[in-house]
A = this chain, B = another copy of it.
Amino acid sequence: MTGTSTALLTDHYELTMVAAALADGTASRQCVFETFARRLPNGRRYGVVGGTGRVIDAISRFTFGDEELATLSGVLDPATVEWLADYRFSGDVDGYAEGELYFPGSPLFTVRGTFAEAVVLETLVLSILNHDSAIVSAGARMASAANGRPIIEMGGRRTHEEAAVAAARAAYLAGFATTSNLEAGRRYGIPTGGTSAHAFTLLHDSEHAAFTAQVNAVGPDTTLLVDTYDITSGIETAIEVAGTSLGAIRIDSGDVGVLARQARAQLDALGARNTRIVVSGDLDEYAIAALRAEPVDAYGVGTSLVTGSGSPTAGMVYKLVEVDGRPVAKRSSHKESKAGRKAALRRYKPTGTALEEVVYVVGAQVPAGPHDRQLQVPLMRGGQPVDDLPTLEESRQRVREALVSLPWEGLKLSHGEPAISTVNVEK
């Protein structure tokens, strides 16, 4: 999406607030906005930050061209339109690296700048972080449940066509092996793959003809979908056509655990001991975990991944916490937040297991532990992305390492408390 303006992917009120603040001189006050989640959704034990790289790219493209300005000229006064025409974010951003774990209150994306330049980014920052973090958080639970077996992301058809591309990226970040989404392959270099659909078998005069066509086109190291008619005869036909070097079979319906066992026995009896078994069909992290003891070689996951497995948004908010050095916070009942710019560190045991998250107001006295790690890193300086932003591969590696650092209860799929508790330290 390089080159496309992201400036209208925002809420009307962000710009009317800028207009009002420009008019009364408060627009240039130095502000700090913090992005955090008040809680983890649905009794989850941890969240995974996703989308940071996409946000930084989107901020670079948050500029108002002629088309955007023409749209706004009916809504805003000329002085505001002129200000927007010159807009480029020039502030600083610190936050959790993409792929880092987060917990309630973790300050995972902190924007510093004038009120006007920072407030206009609210909607865009939240859209990306809320979507991508929801997907990678769900995906990490699935990857963890799969326990090393590869997962293929194939949910694009169950979500918005552009959200699908971001979801494929988030799934890869979470540890999925490949995606079916071609645009995710092009845009992010994620390995793509695919098998075939029931339609391909139905198109042909027989399953034999369909399998022959597929093997002729892409070779015997392919995955044949064997459950269009009868699975047992489907497998027989598959090996007849492709030989015992067939790459894999896929089962997409029915009780896939039982069917995988039967398929494994049949494949072995036919001499196709290296032919893998891929299962798909409404799998989520619980179904994946339940299949651990079955002879499954890979999972195909669609709907549950792209919908965040019951939690399609991460519920993050973007709150003003400091104005010209003065801590501020909403004070009426409910939806309160804590005033003042914060940073965070994570405490670890000598073994490397995470102990607690310490979120502290910058300047507060925090007793140093022997195994602390500061969590915020510079992401943007003077409106520019920092030089050493991690690649998607590096962020993917970070997720893998972070999951290993959790206490064992932290990887439980059941509802419960966060894997580590958050300690808040005020000044």
Interface residues of A (CB under 8 A from B): 6, 8-17, 19-21, 23-24, 26, 29, 31, 33, 58, 67-68, 71-72, 75, 77, 115, 119, 122-124, 126-128, 130-131, 154, 156-166, 180-183, 185-186, 192-200, 202-204, 209, 212-214, 216-218, 227-231, 252-254, 281, 303, 306-308, 312-313, 315, 318-320, 323, 328-335
Contacts and interface: CB of A to CB of B under 8 A. Distances in A.
A126 B198 CA distance: 16
A65 to B, nearest CB: 12
Contacts of A11: 154, 156-157, 180-182, 194
Of A281, A312, A323, most buried by chain B (CB within 10 Å of CB) is: A312
Contacts of A214: 16-17, 20
A156 B230 CA distance: 46
25 contacts: A8-B182, A10-B183, A12-B185, A13-B196, A14-B197, A15-B182, A16-B194, A16-B217, A20-B213, A26-B204, A31-B203, A58-B161, A67-B186, A115-B199, A119-B197, A122-B199, A130-B159, A158-B315, A160-B163, A163-B163, A198-B320, A202-B330, A203-B323, A281-B334, A303-B313
B254 A17 contact: no
Of A33, A195, A204, A308, most buried by chain B (CB within 10 Å of CB) is: A204
A259 to B, nearest CB: 9
Number of copies: 2
A161 B127 contact: yes
A60 B197 CA distance: 24
Given A13-B194, A303-B315, A323-B202, A20 B218 contact: yes
A100 to B, nearest CB: 21
Nearest to A327: B202
B253 A21 contact: no
Given A13-B180, A182-B12, A331 B229 contact: yes
Of A15, A200, A214, A252, most buried by chain B (CB within 10 Å of CB) is: A200
A191 B152 CA distance: 41
A119 B196 CA distance: 11
Nearest to A22: B217
A306 B160 CA distance: 11
A160 B166 contact: yes
A23 B216 CA distance: 8
Contacts of A115: 199, 203
Nearest to A191: B12
Of A29, A119, A281, A333, most buried by chain B (CB within 10 Å of CB) is: A333
